[in-house]
Structure 1
Amino acid sequence: MAAASRLVSFAEKIIKPNRATPLSLGRYNLSINDQIMVPFYLSIAAFYPNPSKTPEQVSNILQNSLSKVLSSYYPFAGTLRDNTFVDCNDRGAKFMNVRYDCPMSEIANLPDTGPEYLPFAKGIHDSLLLGDEDLLVVQLSHFNCGGLAIGTSISHKIADGCTTSNFISDWASIARDDEEANIIPSPQMIGSSIFPPSTNLPSTDIYTNTIVNVPIENIKRRYLFSNSKLEMLKSQVTSETGLQNPSRVDVLSALIYKCAVTAARAQANSFKPSMLTLAVNLRPILDPPVATRAIGNMVSFIKVETTSVDEITIARVVRELRKAKDEFKKEDHVNANKLVALHSENLPISNEFETYRSHSMCNFPLNNLDFGWGKPNKVTIPLIGVGFCFFLLDSPSGDGIEAIVAVPETYVTQFENNKELLQFATPMN
């Protein structure tokens, strides 16, 4: 059944903050980290199989609580101006109410995030933010089985993964405990004071155009890596490197990276220098550390370059990731010039390296998003088609990590049949 034929009804409205933003808070300055961010949406969808409310009740609860949380996150209801600041004009957030004539399982279990992927507003998950409006877009999707999905998309110009997680969690808390008067989110608007904005930045048009025009058709795959398998992988790395307690994200990123590079090499029958990039949350690294409540983009990147075949080992990649993190904490990697340089190095504008991108949302409370009808049975994040990339999420059961992997179609068969991958992974689609 085509996506269009599944649509039963569609309604759209603008949700404004329930309290007017004071004139003194009317301008929210972007930090340099916000300014250099490519303008796409960060999106998350949570699926709920058996809500205890009627569709009308769910919609009313979400709209009312969204209005309340926007009073604290008032920049999200504003308008971006000249890649310099957000005009906190209370324009509002877009809220869409959609009904589909299909069961939720048919959508929640789709392997791909292409046109058939319906929990997000049309065009949100597979394109860049082309205008300066609609910094926040929400879609409530109802399915004929009674299940529902809440899809939230926030412009990356004003939010990173930590900010997005905090916002949705605060929204859920207000929706769930609306009677509690003391539930008032307290996001900190301090990004521009830590990373002052710049008036002399290189244009990001080349980055945007490159991402939009990447001629690579991706196939999405989802895998579960159980805690027991991750412990096996960590033990293997420790025995080969001597590193104590390597992180789950590092060892899993290294495994997926190795399997991807191996698949690409097999398909091309040759090796091309490759690079793994890993997004790093700067909040705990800064001196002094910044609270997790600080909104905006407080991320940078570490990278591991692989220039020869013998460097494609999990142990070596994990060792280099640990080394890069340690150096990150020692050196001045958070000043403005360094941030711009690191960001530029990790955008797809060079043919020198094949770039593989790892993003983690592990240890964020996404599986606890209870709006008043229980926790979701599944959370997912769409991937933008920029070659090989993957998102890591805690599994809803708590037993391990789910990896959503975007693989170029040219070597997806080699990747998904990799014996080392299947030694640790359970395919989910």
Structure 2
Amino acid sequence: MGSIYQGPPSLLQDLKVTVHKSSLVFPSQETEKRTLFLSNIDQVLNFDVETIHFFSSHKDFSPKIVADKLKNTLAKILVPYDFFAGRLKLNPETSRLEIDCNAAGAGFVVASSEYTLDEIGDLVYPNPAFAQLVCKTSNFLKPGDQPLCIFQLTSFKCGGFAMGLSVNHTTLDGLSFKLFLNNLAALGHNKPLAVTLSHDRHLLASRLPPHVTFPHPELVQLKIPINKDSNPRLCSHPRRPCLQYFPADLGQHQQP
């Protein structure tokens, strides 16, 4: 038996979001000035990934308390995740992208919506209006000085809030991003990092110079000697493809 088609739910087209403050957050401690190598995979996956995380209201966490705590926690986690506060740059010698861990800061935006979470409705269905909950670029910065990570905290009239993140994929993949959120929550509770990660991308680098570690018989060029008993069609090199024209008169082949 078939099922009755249910169309998409009624969605708000405008969440009426107002941005109150945009700023940069810097590491809470001095970090090492270094350059982070990016693998060939990272060279290709150079784009921003946007995620939104909704939280219901809590009597002990007003929007201001949440904003202050998240901002302080972000400053703490920028110490072990120093590349989040860095900037992408092009190495002129290798023509490869790298992350300059220069502590230039991560983006932090505080905003509010005129709706409650209940008025927004289904939070799972992909609503195009949710794009208002993620800050894609920092308009107060130069185009070449864009953060690799931007947090936007949007509070709602009910006391709930949404945490929208825009993270460049060169910094983390999906699994590493999940572990990053676990570490962010741990530091927010004044606990040590939940998972200690290795940020050395040379583990994914290609060999320099390249070298073969095992035989590849499929690439071996066979040298077959040609003698008088050899079939020239089997031993000769294939001819280059060509196009030839032959004159023909179809009238001569017509049957009476």
Question: Given the alignment, which residue of 25, 50, 56 partners 1:15?
Answer: 25
CA distance in 2, matches of 1:156, 1:96: 20
| 1:112 and 2:136 matched | no
Amino acid at match of 1:53: F
Partner of 1:86: 99
Partner of 2:249: none
Q: What root-mean-square deviation, in Å, do the aligned CA atoms of Structure 1 and Structure 2 show? A: 2.7
| 1:3 and 2:14 matched | yes
Partner of 1:325: none
Change (3 A) 1:61 1:116: closer
Q: TM-score, normalised by structure 2?
A: 0.65
Change (3 A) 1:174 1:55: same
Which structure has greater helix proportion? 1
* Uncovered stretches (5+) of structure 2, i.e. residues with no partner: 1-11, 91-95, 209-215, 217-256
Amino acid at match of 2:107: K
Change (3 A) 1:122 1:184: closer
* Uncovered stretches (5+) of structure 1, i.e. residues with no partner: 125-129, 199-331, 333-429
- Secondary structure at the aligned position of 2:78 is classed as helix
Partner of 1:277: none
Larger radius of gyration: 2
CA distance in 1, matches of 2:110, 2:70: 11
Change (3 A) 1:197 1:68: farther
Change (3 A) 1:60 1:184: same
- Note the 1:68-147 alignment, pairs <5 A: 68-82=76-90, 83-107=96-120, 109=122, 111-115=125-129, 117-121=131-135, 133-147=146-160
- Note the 1:307-346 alignment, pairs <5 A: none
Question: Given the alignment, which residue of 40, 43, 48 partners 1:32?
Answer: 40
Shift of 1:73: 0.5
Shift of 1:68: 0.5
Change (3 A) 1:152 1:9: closer
Shift of 1:8: 4.0
Partner of 2:198: 188
Q: What is the number of residues matched between the two proteins?
A: 187
Q: TM-score, normalised by structure 1?
A: 0.40
- % identity of equivalent residues: 25
Change (3 A) 1:40 1:84: closer
- Secondary structure at the aligned position of 1:90 is classed as coil
CA distance in 2, matches of 1:3, 1:121: 15
CA distance in 2, matches of 1:155, 1:189: 15
Partner of 2:50: 43
Change (3 A) 1:197 1:184: farther
CA distance in 1, matches of 2:80, 2:207: 23
Shift of 1:119: 2.2
Partner of 1:312: none
Structure 1 contact 101–143 (Cα < 8 Å) conserved: yes
Change (3 A) 1:117 1:32: closer
Structure 1 contact 8–99 (Cα < 8 Å) conserved: yes
